[in-house]
Every structure is written in structure tokens, then in C-alpha cells.
Amino acid sequence: MSAAADALSRTVLDVPDYPQPGIVFKDITPLLADPVAFAAVVEALAAAGRDADGTVVVDKVVGMEARGFIFAAPVALALGVGFVPVRKVGKLPRETHAVSYALEYGEATLELHRDGVRPGERVLLVDDVLATGGTIAATRELVAACGGESVGVAVLMELSFLPGREAVGDLPVTALSVV
């Protein structure tokens, strides 16, 4: 088992029926409190932004509010590139692009500053859990609206019983563990 997969299996807790019956919530807070595990996971996520020779191949790392921020920011520092936040509607102070997408119940809107990603920039998307893929698909649309190109997705955990990969389309997905 890789150091990152070992770190996840040691630290992430399954919380049944949270936030509603039938959902098994992946609690990453014990992972964050363990600096060895946290570092292993950040390094493994950052590998998705390098080629086989170790050369950094992305210009920006985008993280989604809120848990995506926790991982995307150190991944950006590890790669020596900028971190860009995608936020829930109404949180970013300047001109944004916005995309709305369906949730299991209802709808959500995400925003990205229009100058957060420059035309032609290559972007790595980082989040904690790939579930239905709606968040990643919406973020990809936001990056495209800025003229950037999403070149990969890196997540800690992929929930294989949900169609997340299909929603993500042809974007390469790096999942440190598949559950």
C-alpha cells in the first residue's frame, strides 16, 4: 500500500447516517490532525500536477470550498504554482463567472474570479471526495469560462458506487483511494 493510501486508511473515519440517513460521511479531521498522514496525502495529490520526470505541468491549482481548500492550497505550494479558490455564491468580492448545478436535493452555485485563471493556463482541480462529480464538472466549466484548461482532477477518495467519473468526462482522475 502507498504511504498516502495507508495514511487514509489509518485516519479517515466513516460516520454513518451523517448528514442524513443513508450517507456514510468521510470524516477527514483525524487525517488533518496527523502531520505525517497529511504530508503523505498532499505529496501524493501533488504528483497529479507533475509528469513522469517530475516536471510541474500545471500553472494553477483550483480548490473548491470548503474542504477542497485544505488540500489544494498545500498542493499548490508543493508544486510552486498559484492556488485559486472556487467559492459558494456571493463570497468572492470581484467579478466572477458562476455555474449552477444540481445537487441530490436542490441546486448549488459556484463562482470563480474572472481573472483567477488566465487564458491558456493549465489547471489541476483538487477536492477531498469525488461523489456524484457535480462539483468537479461545475468547476471545470468555470475554468473553461476563464479560458483555462483543466488537465486533471486529484481527490483523496472516490466513491465508486456513484457515477462521479462519468460526470467528470475525459479528465484524468487521480484518486488516492477508491471506496
User: Which residues contact ligand AMP by CB under 6 A?
Assistant: 23-26, 64, 67-68, 127-135, 164
Nearest to 145 by CA among 106, 81, 99: 99
Contact 148, 121 (CB under 8 A): yes
* Residue 111 is among the residues annotated as catalytic for this protein: no
- Residue 65 a catalytic site member: no
User: 123 forms bridges with which residues in the sheet?
Assistant: 60, 150
CB of 72 to ligand AMP, least distance (A): 11
In angstroms, what is the minimal distance from the CB of 170 to ligand AMP?
Answer: 17
Minimum CB distance to ligand AMP, residue 23 (Å): 6
Q: Which is nearer to ligand AMP, 96 or 135 (CB)?
A: 135
State the nearest-atom distance from the C-beta of 55 to ligand AMP, in Å. 29
Grid cell locating 179:
471506496
Q: What is the C-alpha to C-alpha distance for residues 137 and 3, in angstroms, rounded to an integer? A: 29
Q: Catalytic pick from 94, 95, 104, 107?
A: 104
Catalytic residue from among 43, 50, 65, 67: 67
- Nearer to ligand AMP among residue 26 and residue 113 (C-beta): 26
Q: For residues 59 and 127, which CB has a smaller minimum distance to ligand AMP in the complex?
A: 127
105, amino acid identity: Y
How far is the CA of 77 from the CAs of 41, 73, 89, 138, 162, in angstroms?
14, 6, 26, 24, 31
State phi, psi for 83 to the nearest 5 degrees.
Answer: -100, 135
Residue 25 or 34: the one with the smaller Cβ distance to ligand AMP is 25
Catalytic positions are: 67, 104
